[in-house]
Amino acid sequence: MSKLPPDILAQLAESAQKFISNEYSFTHRQALASSTIGYSEKHWQMFADLAWLAIPFNEEHGGLGGNIADISGLLEQFGYGLIIEPYISTVVLAGHVLSNANDSPLSQELTAQIISGNVHISLAWQERQSSANVMNIKTTATETEDGYLINGEKISVLNGLNADSYIISAQSQNTKTPSLFFVAADTKGLSAQHHQLYDGHRATTLQLQNVLIPKQNQLVVNAEELLKETMTVGMYALCCEALGSMEKLLEMTIEYAKIRKQFGVPIASFQALRHMISDMYVTLKKTRCLNEQIASQWVHHSPSPQDIAALKVQTGKAAHFISRNAIQIHGGIGMTNELEVGHYVKRLTTIDGLLGNSQYHLASLANSL
């Protein structure tokens, strides 16, 4: 359940809606996606000014003191508007780690920088062999006299292109448990290969070869709990964004079916398509109900691993189902890169793929029953 008062939440929702309808035409979004940095710094500063970047941080650190449920509305709007700014990467994932790291000057400083919109930080947790298992870490951190020496590879680091620094998970050679380390992007031994994803977002492969960092850059020791919790928060954020994208996709599909004619009548009059639309609606609505139920219980207790796995499974299944049917009903035109439809589909397909897809979490759910 939300921690913020209703009037603040209403204000946030209103500002998000306004931003999307005033500042975020599809053409503009596409231009941003293919720009060098892949998003708009102006927008990001606006996010800071509107306090969107401050929502989930503690008030004592300059945040609004909200929780994850307080950003669900914003993220749903982001999904609806196909926003490309790297909010989940910097604010949700890195932000959640910093909020729960040791209360050092470093983490306080980084939190303040995020809230002000001055930095991007990316969490680098995934590895080639790890699939979505956040505890499957081969990257090592060895304590030396000068600090920690980190070696390994990280893949699919979201917004790595723009990250001023990374938070990197590594097996501490002392404790034999994972720790989290702060590594500035320009640290020696760190090399990055940046990619664009099919949905326009950016992701990076990082190589760490004898990367030496000072001891105070160890943000969290025994990070298992926090890493898992951060995955939970990130998965929930993705699921909220997906809700908005699915809503928009359904709306566009219904509108198109009412306008497009075949055999002299609108295709919305064909029972087969009507039933497809009805199934899309049912799929979206039940996914939304599940999402809201989990959010409403959050104040009492974080979602259990089963709860969040079930939500990610359902959201991924729904994303594919609604995407595929949206294209089918649009016909050929839905297959073109020119129309919005396909880009919503690509974002939803990516959302399923991030932080463990339906199949991955269904398997973990199956093993937990």
Partner 1 sequence: MAPEKNMDLGKFRNEICDFLNNHIPDDVWEAVAKTTSYFPAFSAVMTMHKLLATKGWSVVNWPEEYGGPGWSDEQRRIFFEEYCSRGLPMMAPQSVGMVAPAIMKFGTAEQKAKYLPPIASGADTWCQGYSEPNAGSDLVSLQCRADSDGDHYIINGQKTWTTWAFEVDHIFLLVRTSSEGRPQAGITFLLIDSMSLPGMEVRPIIGLDGMPEQAEVFFDNVRVPKTQVLGTENQGWTVAKYLLEHERAAGGSFQFVLRRELDKLRTLANVTDDGHGSKISSDPVFKQKCAELEVDWRCLAASENYARRIGSNHPEAAHMASLIKLESMNLTQHISELALDISGTLALVDQQLALHIGSETPPIDPIEVLTVMPTYLNQRASSIFGGSHQIQRDILAKLVISK
Q: For partner 1, which is the closer residue by CB, 217 or 323?
A: 323
Q: For a second copy, which is the closer residue by CB, 22 or 271?
A: 271
- Which listed option, a second copy, partner 1, none, makes contact with residue 369 (CB within 5 to 8 Å by class)? partner 1
CB of 324 to partner 1, least distance (A): 7
- Which listed option, a second copy, partner 1, none, makes contact with residue 351 (CB within 5 to 8 Å by class)? none
Residue 277 region by backbone torsions, left for phi larger than 0, else alpha for psi between -120 and 50, else beta: alpha
- Which listed option, a second copy, partner 1, none, makes contact with residue 168 (CB within 5 to 8 Å by class)? none
Q: For partner 1, which is the closer residue by CB, 22 or 337?
A: 337
- Which listed option, partner 1, a second copy, none, makes contact with residue 282 (CB within 5 to 8 Å by class)? partner 1
CB of 295 to partner 1, least distance (A): 11
Distance CA 78, CA 91 (A): 14
CB of 153 to partner 1, least distance (A): 11
Binding site for a second copy (CB under 8 A): 270-272, 275
- Which listed option, a second copy, partner 1, none, makes contact with residue 196 (CB within 5 to 8 Å by class)? partner 1
The answer to whether 328 touches 341, Cβ cutoff 8 Å, is no
Q: For a second copy, which is the closer residue by CB, 174 or 269?
A: 269
* Listed residue (44, 59, 79, 364) closest to 232, CA to CA: 364
The answer to whether 267 touches 273, Cβ cutoff 8 Å, is yes
Q: For partner 1, which is the closer residue by CB, 169 or 217?
A: 169
Q: For a second copy, which is the closer residue by CB, 198 or 281?
A: 281
CB of 328 to a second copy, least distance (A): 13
Q: For a second copy, which is the closer residue by CB, 118 or 269?
A: 269
Per-residue HEC secondary structure of 101-167 comes to: CCCCHHHHHHHHHHHHCCCCEEEECCCCCCCCCCCCCCCEEEEECCEEEEEEEEEEEECHHHCCEEE
- Which listed option, a second copy, partner 1, none, makes contact with residue 287 (CB within 5 to 8 Å by class)? partner 1
- Dig out the tokens for 203 from the structure: 């992701």
Distance CA 157, CA 144 (A): 27
Rg of the chain, C-alpha, whole Å = 21
CB of 64 to a second copy, least distance (A): 50
262: how many CB neighbours lie within 10 A of its CB? Answer: 11
CB of 275 to a second copy, least distance (A): 6
Distance CA 115, CA 97 (A): 14
CB of 210 to a second copy, least distance (A): 44
The answer to whether 221 touches 258, Cβ cutoff 8 Å, is no
99: how many CB neighbours lie within 10 A of its CB? Answer: 18
